[in-house]
Each structure stands twice: as structure tokens, then as C-alpha cells.
Amino acid sequence: MTQEKQVAVVTGNSSGIGFETCLTMARNGYNTYATMRKIEGKTNQITDISKNENLPLKVLQLDVDNDKSVLDAINRIVTEYGSIDVVCLPVVVSWPSSLLLSLVVVESKTSFSPVLVAYF
């Protein structure tokens, strides 16, 4: 478990604002997790860009409406990096209870509270 840079988790990265937000975070030095509900067939473009630019970016399956999916993803990230510093929700219609629960879990496992950024 190492953390030299801050860790960002960005939801909804298959296209649009989430895709661009994720690349922007990685290009600005964040260890970035590009998360999406279904990753099959959707990761090629973002992983190709990440490899070509040598970005600190990983793709991870995360369904914000599924408690187990959220907790599994958060546990994986916290195990690897020790914390999550920024959570970006590029498109939020309602606050998924599982995502809010995950922020409580992260806060209880670490000595910090992640910054939550949402775009409406």
C-alpha cells in the first residue's frame, strides 16, 4: 500500500463528462480510477489513451446503484492506496445510498474524509 499522489475515483467513464474528467484528473497527477457500470468493450479508448500518455489510470467496474459493487471497488482501492482523496460523480440524478455508504466506509477505515465533486 503506497500513496505518493492523491487518489481520485471518477464514475461514469464510458463517455462524455466522466471520460474527460477522468483523463483530466490522471493528466494532473492523480492516481485515477476510471469506473463504469459495465466495462466489457468500453475500456479500449480510455486504456489506449492512458498507455500512450503513461497516465496513472486504472479501469475498475463499479455500479453506483449496487451496494456490493461499490463496497468491493472501494475496498480494492483503499487496500491498494490506503485512501481515496476525491470522488467525482459527473452525472448525478440522485445520491445513490450505496455510494454514500461507501464514503462512510472509507472514512471509517482511514483518517480522512474524501472530497466529493458532483456535476449536475
| 1 in a structural domain | no
Task: Tell me if 24 is assigned to some domain.
Answer: yes
The pLDDT of residue 120: 41
Q: In whole angstroms, what separates CA 21 from the centre of its chain?
A: 10
30-88 pLDDT per residue, tens: 999 998 888 777 667 888 999 999 999 999 988 877 878 888 888 899 899 888 888 88
C-alpha–C-alpha distance, residues 65 and 26, integer Å: 25
Residue 100 is assigned to a structural domain of this protein = yes
For the packed helices 67-81 and 97-109, what is the interaxial angle rounded to 10 degrees? 30
Q: In the chain, how many domains are there?
A: 1
pLDDT for the residue numbered 1: 47
CATH number at residue 105: 3.40.50.720
Q: Is residue 83 part of a domain?
A: yes
Sign, CA torsion 48/51/57/59: positive
Structural domain for 59, as ranges:
7-118
Alpha helices, DSSP H, located in 1-120: 16-27, 44-53, 67-81, 97-109
* pTM for this prediction: 0.76
From the list 2, 1, 31, the residue with the least C-alpha distance to 10 is 31
**For the chain, percent of residues with pLDDT exceeding 70:** 69
Alpha carbons 97 and 114: distance in angstroms, whole number: 16
- Residue 2 domain-assigned (yes or no): no
